[in-house]
């Protein structure tokens, strides 16, 4: 009879920021140069949106002036630490010029055609964000089309 030991996988509440600029989506990295979206763990009395805003300021010096919840994302299990991140992903608009702070050593801008080494969770979240953005644009265009037809018909 074989005995397997299963380690408990800890859930980590994480606020994750998407800061989209003309250059691309802001990503950060430490010494390893594995780029991730800015963000981090939320304390017990802190929402994950607030955690994303706080971490963005701590990691890059950017000051948030707008934050919008986008979606939740359940990350992959990190085998080296036996935990899984539960992301609250927020679209954030911020003021300032980003500079690496604390554990962050590098700041880059991700585009689909870039060769930046991003984490699996970051890749999944960015792909999901692009789909979300495309659906939102299509909904706006459809609403505009309906309004124009209603106007043309005299409603």
- Give the pLDDT confidence score for residue 136 in this predicted structure: 75
Q: Are 98 and 21 in contact (CB under 8 A)?
A: no
Domain count within the chain: 1
Residue 82 is predicted with a pLDDT of 76
Which pLDDT does position 97 carry in this prediction?
A: 95
Let me know if residue 1 belongs to a domain: no
In a domain, 58, yes or no: yes
Mean pLDDT of successive 10-residue stretches along the chain, which has 155 residues:
60 91 96 94 91 96 96 82 84 96 95 93 95 75 62 69
Q: Do residues 17 and 98 touch, judged by C-beta distance below 8 A? A: no
pTM above 0.75, yes or no: yes
The CATH number assigned to the domain holding 24 equals 3.90.79.10
Which residue pairs, CB below 8 angstroms and at least 24 apart, start in 73-81?
73/16, 73/121, 73/124, 73/125, 73/128, 75/14, 75/121, 75/124, 76/120, 76/121, 77/9, 81/10
What are the backbone angles phi and psi of residue 139, rounded to the nearest 5°? -65, -45
Cα separation, 145 vs 9, whole angstroms: 48
Asked, for residue 102, whether it belongs to a domain, the answer is yes
CA within 13 Å, CB half, 89: 23
Domain hosting 109: range is 10-153
Per DSSP, what are the bridge partners of residue 74? 86
Q: Is residue 2 part of a domain?
A: no
Residue 52 lies in a domain: yes
pLDDT the model gives residue 76:
84
pLDDT at residue 43, as a whole number: 87
Residue 4 maps to a domain: no
Within a domain: residue 94?
Answer: yes
State residue 23's pLDDT score.
95
Q: In the prediction, which pLDDT does 123 show?
A: 96
pLDDT at res. 77: 78
* SS3 state at 48: helix
């Amino acid at each position: 009879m074989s005995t397997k030991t299963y380690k408990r996988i800890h859930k980590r509440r994480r606020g994750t920021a998407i800061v989209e600029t003309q250059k691309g989506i802001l990503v950060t990295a430490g010494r390893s140069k594995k780029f991730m979206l800015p963000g981090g763990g939320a304390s017990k009395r802190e929402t994950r949106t607030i955690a994303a805003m706080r971490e963005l300021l701590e990691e890059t010096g950017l000051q948030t002036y707008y934050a919008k919840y986008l979606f939740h994302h359940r990350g992959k299990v990190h085998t080296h630490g036996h935990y899984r991140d539960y992301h609250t992903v927020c679209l954030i608009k911020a003021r300032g010029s980003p500079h690496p702070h604390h554990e962050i050593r590098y700041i880059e801008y991700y585009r689909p055609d870039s060769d930046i080494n991003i984490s699996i969770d970051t890749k999944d979240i960015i792909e999901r964000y692009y789909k979300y953005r495309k659906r939102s644009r299509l909904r706006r265009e459809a609403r505009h089309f309906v309004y124009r037809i209603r106007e043309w018909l005299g409603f």
